Amino acid sequence: MGVALPPRATAAVTDEDFNALKNQVQQLNSTVQGLQQEHQQDQQTIQQLRDQLGQTQTLATNAVQKAEAAQAQATPGPSARHNFTMAGDAEVQFSKAAGQHGGFALADFAPIFLYRANDNILFEAGFDTSLDSGGNTTFSMSFGQLDYVWNDYVTVVAGDMLLPLGTYNIRSAGWLTKIPDAPLVDDQILPGSGVGAQLRGGIPIGDTGQMLTYSVYGVNGPGAGDSTTGDAFQSTNSPSVGSPNLDLGGNLTSPNEHPDPSGGGRVGWFYPWKPHYDVELGISGQSGEWGYVGNHLWSAAVLDAAVHISPYFEAKGEYANTWYGTDASGTIHPHGWWVQASYKLAGLNLELPVVNDLELVGRYDRLNDGLGTKTDRYTAGLVYYFTDTLWFESDYEYLSSHGPNAMPPNEVIAQISYGF
Amino acid sequence: MKLIQRKQRTVGWRATTLLGAAVIGLSLALAQAQPPAKSGGSKKPEPKKVRHDLTGEELYQINCNRCHSERYPTEFTAAQWQTIMLEMRVRANLPAEQSRKILEYLQQDSGN
């Protein structure tokens, strides 16, 4: 049996080559030892850096925590950005009623003082300043109220407040109405303001600008014009008061003339389908005692509507129904309505300088004061816009008025209005 | 009696005139609206409206211009606009978010 072995390898290395190789190995060995020492030093350095980094991170974390804690402890109080601003309007008027001399008058200078205490608190007061026929200056506060925005949906209002019976009283600045005279129902049978408190706000519906609005309030309620006669019937001829003794602008102080305050409110729906195209509907009312005895109620129900079709056309109106009890005459029932339409001629695209700045406006009023006087008033007028806030307004009013408190048959009014 | 009848006719004539003027005004306004485009007798489905959050400028046009003429942002300072918008928010019952957007729009280019 035989085993085949590979041939034995043989190599011939000279002493010179062996020594050279040995030197190389020794040099490599010393190099490796040097690298090992550097590696150890690097490891130590890295460890030191890691330690320092950990300390730094700890310090940073502590600093952030302290900053957050300090911020959390800070009191989120009022922004203290007080601001005082004045807005309002002014009118100079020429009027000529049938059977009377025409004349100029400083019809009104009506500043509104706005004082903002912070982001949520505002005090606003509107004043009416004018000259009477004797050259005396009359200065009266048309409203003065404190507004506190409680949250996104509720604002608390208190003071001598504009009352949301319809919308005219709240949007009736002279440079907004396009016709100098107020609608008869708002001028004569509805109160413009009342002393009390109110909750109001708006609730958005969807993301198109649609909203529901609401107002709920309590006020002293109408007063009696003559304290000596109580709420007994007594004939007067005052066209600014809708009835004998009933004083819609009185009873503004404490104590109340009658035992209990009045309550009221408005609910509105506003639906815009695009800018300058919208419709608004509202229903409002108020009811409560009037007079000194408190055995009779004064109540009002108002429907209001407005529509805008394009930036040029607007139509709006109100229907008001009021009633109140008296000792001598039973229930008196003043009521009426008005509708107003206006059109800016710029919508015709005539590109004529004067025509482009004109707006035509018309209104129809009907009022039954419940005391035997019925009035129909037809108003046609125009507005010329010098600027967006400086207007010239002129209109002709024809009245068909019959009864003990009949009004003059016609009147011409020209007015310059400025809003600021 | 004749006098009463004449007054009734006069009132009726004026009511007719007023109604006519209102109809003319409404017609002028409606004339501004663009008629629907005709497409050879076949109705094309209307493109879906792109929904987006209304901007402050759009909300300004929707809410403010319905009661008064345009007021320019440069008319008041940023602080005054904040005061005025607080008043307008209360008076017009503006929802909070809409009021904030309108204020931002007015303050962007407010006066000094």
Mean pLDDT by 10 residues, chain B (112 residues): 46 51 48 42 48 86 90 92 95 95 94 83
Q: How far apart are CA A270 and CA A196, in angstroms?
A: 26
Structural tokens at position B14: 């004026």
User: What residue ranges do the domains of chain A occupy?
Assistant: 83-419
In a domain, B69, yes or no: yes
CA-only gyration radius of chain B, Å: 23
Q: Is the ipTM of this complex over 0.90?
A: no
- pLDDT-based confidence at A8, cuts 50/70/90? low
Query: Residue B92: inside a domain, yes or no?
Result: yes
Chain segment A215-228, per-residue pLDDT in tens: 999 999 888 765 44
Q: What is the pLDDT of residues A110-162, one digit of tens each?
A: 999 999 999 999 999 999 998 877 778 889 999 999 999 999 999 999 999 99
Cα dist. A11→A8, A14 in Å? 10, 10
- How close does chain B come to A354, measured CA to CA in Å? 18
What pLDDT is attached to residue B51?
A: 55
Helix (H, G, I), strand (E, B) or coil at A75: coil
Residue-wise DSSP of A137-173: EEEEEEEEEEEEE-SSS-EEEEEEEEP-SSSTTTT--
Q: Which residue has the tokens 């980094």?
A: A53
**CB contacts < 8 Å between A and B, how many?**
154
What is residue A185's three-state secondary structure? helix
Tell me the DSSP string of chain B: -HHHHHHHHHHHHHHHHHHHHHHHHHHHHHHTSPPPPP-TTPPPPPPPPPP-PPPHHHHHHHHTTTTS----GGGSBHHHHHHHHHHHHHHTT--HHHHHHHHHHHHHT-B-
In a domain, residue B70? The reply is yes
Residue A163, Cβ neighbours under 10 Å: how many?
Answer: 27
Asked if B28 lies within 8 A of A275 by C-beta distance, the reply is no
User: What is d(CA A346, CA A356) in angstroms, rounded to the nearest whole number?
Assistant: 4
Q: What is the pLDDT of residues A16-55, one digit of tens each?
A: 888 999 999 999 999 999 999 999 999 999 999 999 998 9
Q: Please report the pLDDT score of residue B102 as a whole number.
A: 96
Query: What residues make up the domain containing B95?
Result: 56-108
Indicate the average pLDDT of chain A: 87
The whole-angstrom distance between B39's CA and the closest CA on chain A is 25
Residues of A in contact with B83 (CB under 8 A): 83-85, 114-116, 122
C-alpha distance from A299 to closest chain B C-alpha (Å): 23
Peptide bond into A255 cis (omega under 30): yes
Q: What residues of chain A lie within 8 A of the CB of B73, using their CB?
A: none
**Would you tell me which CATH number, out of the four given (3.40.50.150, 3.30.950.10, 3.40.50.970, 2.40.160.10), belongs to the domain A83-419?**
2.40.160.10
CA A22 to chain centre: 99
Asked if B29 and A310 come within 8 Å (Cβ–Cβ), the reply is: yes
- Whether residues A209 and B32 touch (CB distance < 8 A) is answered with no
| B48 part of a folded domain | no
Nearest chain A Cα distance for residue B18, angstroms: 8
Residue scoring higher pLDDT (A371 or A317): A317
For A39, the 3-state DSSP assignment is helix
Angle separating helix axes B96-108 and B56-63, nearest 10 degrees: 110
Using a CB-CB distance cutoff of 8 angstroms, which residues of chain A are in contact with residue B80? 83, 85
The number of domains in chain B is 1
CA distance A342 to B67: 13
Q: Are A300 and A243 in contact (CB under 8 A)?
A: no
Between the CA of residue B56 and those of A48, A57, A403, B102, B103, what are the distances in Å?
A: 57, 44, 52, 4, 7
Task: Judge if pTM exceeds 0.80.
Answer: no
Q: What is the pLDDT of residue A231?
A: 39
